[in-house]
Amino acid sequence: MKFFNRDKEIKKILSIIESEPNFIYFLYGPINSGKTTLINEIINRLDKDRYVVFYINLRRYFVSKYRDFIEVLFEEYEEDKNPIELIKSLIKDSSIIYGIPVPKNTLEVLTSKKDSKNIFRYITDILMKIKESGKQPIIVIDELQKIGDLEINGYLIYELFNYFISLTKEMHLSHVFCLSSDSLFIERVYSEAMLEDRADYILVDDFDKETALKFMDFLAGEVLNRALSEEKKELIYNYVGGKPVLIIKVINKMRAEELDEILNFMLNDTKQRLKYSLEDIREENEELYKEIIKALSLFKESYEVEDITIDKKVREFLVKRNILFLDTIKGVIKPQSFLIWNAIKILI
């Protein structure tokens, strides 16, 4: 499927890439708002003769210890080449590399001392050689929060932040983009004094209504080979809002099912999940349940509320359960989707 919209975000990120590295950039937003799709579209648009992207995706891996992180961070090769020759052979036909390439014996040496400084020194040498060859290195880490609680000589995440600061703010060597849908992690990052004036934040939100309706037109032509009426588009938006993955799901199902049946099923499914979740909370902690009902009642009349209108403990609980999304930078909190919002309005 062709990529749709996000022109504002693409323009902003491409402008960053074309400038000298100076900040760590955090791309954040609700679940399934399109952060990974956006960054991959940008990578695909880059000139492979000018840029080399190291894309590290933590999403698909269980990372519980230091060795797990290293295995995701690096891509091990059997070739009898030094690291720079290995890189050069890999970037001939592509500007993207999934993991930092490393010869097998080299990786064994790097991990033997369990010292992150050895790892970072190796990566820096690779990046400097790429820069010397006339290309700009870019590091992208998807779902960075997965190593947030990992310890190795202290929390690894702080060592990683310090390293990224050296790459961007100090050496201006590599761009660094970190993606996360965990809004509590972004809140934690935003509050870190060590990142003040060293990091910036880019929101990749669900589509606004105008864009969502255009996306429906685009998908209807691509998937259904027909146009949707304004009434049907309004109905879809009222149920699922501007979340791209849900709009795609609805349009795909319309090839074989009636729209009313699709939307009612999706809403009922979301409502039942929320109902059972609230039931479990009530059994475990009656007082917490009452506080949660009070907090969710704020969304009966509004899709967004100021974050501090909800008690911090309750707010964090609902965010961890993926019921609410916290935008720390804007200072607002809202349901993770229109489906959840509609379920809240029915149940509360």
The pTM for the full model equals 0.91
Nearest in space to 274 (alpha carbons), one of 258, 256, 289, 252: 289
What tokens does 90 get? 């890999």
pLDDT number for residue 33? 92
Residue 97 CA to residue 127 CA, distance in Å, equals 13
* H and E: helices and strands count for the chain: 15, 11
DSSP codes of every residue in 105-142: HHHHHHHHTT-HHHHHHHHHHHHHHHHHTT-EEEEEEE
Q: Is the pLDDT of residue 113 over 80?
A: no
CB 142 within 8 A of CB 179: yes
Residues 6 or more apart in contact with residue 331 via CB below 8 angstroms: 306, 307, 308
Local confidence band at 157 (pLDDT 50, 70, 90 cut-offs): confident
Q: Is the pLDDT of residue 160 over 90?
A: no
Residues 6 or more apart in contact with residue 224 via CB below 8 angstroms: 251, 254, 255
- pLDDT digit string, tens, across residues 309-336: 999 999 999 999 999 999 999 999 999 9
Local confidence band at 93 (pLDDT 50, 70, 90 cut-offs): low
Q: Is the pLDDT of residue 81 over 70?
A: no
Q: SS3 of 73, please?
A: helix
Stretch 21-46: mean pLDDT: 94
What is the set of domains in the chain, with CATH numbers? Answer: 7-203 (3.40.50.300), 267-348 (1.10.10.10)
Q: SS3 of 84, please?
A: helix
Q: Residue type for 195, please?
A: L
Residue 146 CA to residue 123 CA, distance in Å, equals 20
Q: Is the pLDDT of residue 339 over 90?
A: yes
